[in-house]
């Protein structure tokens, strides 16, 4: 059956899915949303993406995009009114996102789930993660956003992971010596498009009517 809208399988709290939704929002795109439960992944999603991770975007032409960064880029290539894919910073943005997705995510997972990784203490894991936070702090001492005075794909690609790091222990995070990063995160948490990205939807079931994201507001 031909899709009338691109279809996004998502999980609200997943940082990868967050940045995919942000990419779609900054592109001004509407998609059919299927919010999933990670413990009960729908067979329709597994049929098009057997790896079973979110986000997954199925285009109306049946093309499937399985990686969150690729979803962001694809959406912004369709429409990028705020210039998030500014060619002047793209290689730098890609390098920063790669550092986030590899080094920082490695330590973030261990910091968040320190009880599963007894090789080091939670504090030691946090300190390893702070190496990346210091890089971001240094960037933000020069600019309002990570790579300049306007939003780029680096900001929306990295912010959900900094948010997750902060939420492991908010009091500790906001006591750390990263005032620019803390303010950057606070600004993002109040950003209208982030608030729109985080609207709650009921988990999708096969008999449900189509849910359009972003939800239309009156």
Q: Answer whether residue 206 is part of any domain.
A: yes
Summarised one tens digit per residue, pLDDT across range 48-78 is: 999 999 999 999 999 999 999 999 999 999 9
What CATH number is associated with residue 208?
A: 3.40.30.10
Greatest alpha-carbon span in the chain? 54
One domain, residues 156 and 199: no
When divided into structural domains, the chain yields a total of 2
**Confidence tier at 216 by pLDDT (50, 70, 90):** confident
The answer to whether 156 and 72 are in contact (CB under 8 A) is: yes
Nearest-CA neighbor of 70 among 88, 46, 53? 53
One domain, residues 64 and 78: yes
Q: What is the arithmetic mean of pLDDT over 76-92?
A: 96
List the structure tokens of 175.
């006591």
Q: Answer whether residue 1 is part of any domain.
A: no
Summarised one tens digit per residue, pLDDT across range 150-179 is: 999 999 999 999 999 999 999 999 999 999
What CATH number is associated with residue 133?
A: 1.20.1050.10
Q: Answer whether residue 157 is part of any domain.
A: yes
Q: Answer whether residue 146 is part of any domain.
A: yes
Q: Answer whether residue 218 is part of any domain.
A: no
Domain that holds residue 113: 90-191
**Res 218: pLDDT:** 47
The answer to whether 154 and 146 are in contact (CB under 8 A) is: yes
List the structure tokens of 3.
């899709």
Q: What is the arithmetic mean of pLDDT over 173-190?
A: 98
One domain, residues 33 and 72: yes
pTM, 2 dp: 0.96
How far apart, in whole angstroms, are the C-alpha atoms of residue 76 and residue 85?
Answer: 7
One domain, residues 117 and 159: yes
Q: Answer whether residue 42 is part of any domain.
A: yes
Average pLDDT, the chain: 96
Give DSSP secondary structure letters for 100-155.
Answer: IIIIIHHHHHHHHTGGG-TTS-HHHHHHHHHHHHHHHHHHHTT-SBTTBSS--HHH
One domain, residues 103 and 182: yes
């Amino acid at each position: 059956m031909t899709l009338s809208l691109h279809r996004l399988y998502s999980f609200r709290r997943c940082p990868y899915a967050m940045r995919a939704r942000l990419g779609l929002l900054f592109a001004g795109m509407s998609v059919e949303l299927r919010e999933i439960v990670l413990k009960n992944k729908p067979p329709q999603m597994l049929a098009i993406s057997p790896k079973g991770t979110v986000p997954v975007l199925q285009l109306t032409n049946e093309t499937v995009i399985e990686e969150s960064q690729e979803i962001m880029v694809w959406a912004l290539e369709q429409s990028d009114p705020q210039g998030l894919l500014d060619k002047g910073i793209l290689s730098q943005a890609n390098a920063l996102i790669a550092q986030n997705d590899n080094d920082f995510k490695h330590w973030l997972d261990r910091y968040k789930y320190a009880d599963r990784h007894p090789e080091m203490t939670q504090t030691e894991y946090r300190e390893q993660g702070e190496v990346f936070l210091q890089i971001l702090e240094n960037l933000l001492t020069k600019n309002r956003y990570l790579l300049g005075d306007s939003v780029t794909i680096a900001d929306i690609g990295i912010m959900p992971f900094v948010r997750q790091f902060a939420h492991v222990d908010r009091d500790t995070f906001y006591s750390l010596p990263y005032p620019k990063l803390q303010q950057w995160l606070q600004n993002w948490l109040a950003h209208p498009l982030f608030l729109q990205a985080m609207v709650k939807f009921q988990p999708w079931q096969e008999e449900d009517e189509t849910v359009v994201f972003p939800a239309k507001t009156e």
